[in-house]
Chain A
Amino acid sequence: EPEVTQTPSHQVTQMGQEVILRCVPISNHLYFYWYRQILGQKVEFLVSFYNNEISEKSEIFDDQFSVERPDGSNFTLKIRSTKLEDSAMYFCASSPGQGNYNEQFFGPGTRLTVL
């Protein structure tokens, strides 16, 4: 069964460093998302991506964040200068985007720890 994959599973970085989180969405899906979940808190929407551009971003998704789909398969989230408060689980998700049914399929997540 196709699934969303994410690498790395864990990332530890120093404050101020750049990190790139990678995702491979399900191949025939059209919509891609990044979510963040700080330990013990709710799932927070960061950004959605469709047709090779950002379709919506949240207030969290400031200039420190960027997304890219550099080739036909990968979908990346870059944090330019990490802050302590960026420590969280980052989930990538994709959805078919066709018809009414819009189930989002989540990857296993990347646990980011900023020291």
Chain B
Amino acid sequence: GQNIDQPTEMTATEGAIVQINCTYQTSGFNGLFWYQQHAGEAPTFLSYNVLDGLEEKGRFSSFLSRSKGYSYLLLKELQMKDSASYLCAFDNAGNNRKLIWGLGTSLAVNP
């Protein structure tokens, strides 16, 4: 079967670093995505990993281990505007190119 799991909620302090984990199980895999979603808005793309390792993009980095079915999103120098839901999703390499979504991790950044 296919499933994906991430923590429901996290809290962090402005200026700190936070790591949001995501684990998944699937037979077909063509990459893992992280999206950010502010309340009432659409998800916006943050990162994509298809090979093992770390992808860095400014304050955000994403890591993937395909053998462990594990990814994390690392947010540095947290800002209040980073308070949002962070969605992990993988491409199951099906013909329909569908993404399988996690429940999302709601991150609250406190002053």
Q: Contact residues of A with B, CB < 8 Å?
A: 31, 33, 42-45, 48, 50, 55-56, 89, 91, 95, 97, 100-109, 111
Can you sample 17 A-B contacts with CB below 8 Å? A44-B101, A48-B97, A55-B95, A55-B96, A89-B40, A100-B30, A101-B48, A102-B31, A102-B99, A103-B33, A103-B48, A104-B45, A104-B99, A106-B42, A106-B43, A106-B44, A109-B41
- In chain B, positions 63-102 with a C-beta closer than 8 Å to chain A are 87, 91, 94-102
**Given the complex, which residues of B lie within 8 Å of A107, measured CB to CB?**
42
Interface of A is mostly: strand
Within 8 A of A (CB), among B24-54: 30-31, 33, 37, 40-45, 48, 50
A105 and B96 contact, CB distance less than 8 A: no
Interface range, B side: 20 to 34
B10 at the interface (CB under 8 A from A): no
Chain B residues packing against A (C-beta within 8 Å): 30-31, 33, 37, 40-45, 48, 50, 87, 91, 94-104
Minimal beta-carbon separation of B7 from chain A (angstroms): 13
The distance in angstroms between the C-alpha atoms of A48 and B97, with both chains bound, is: 8
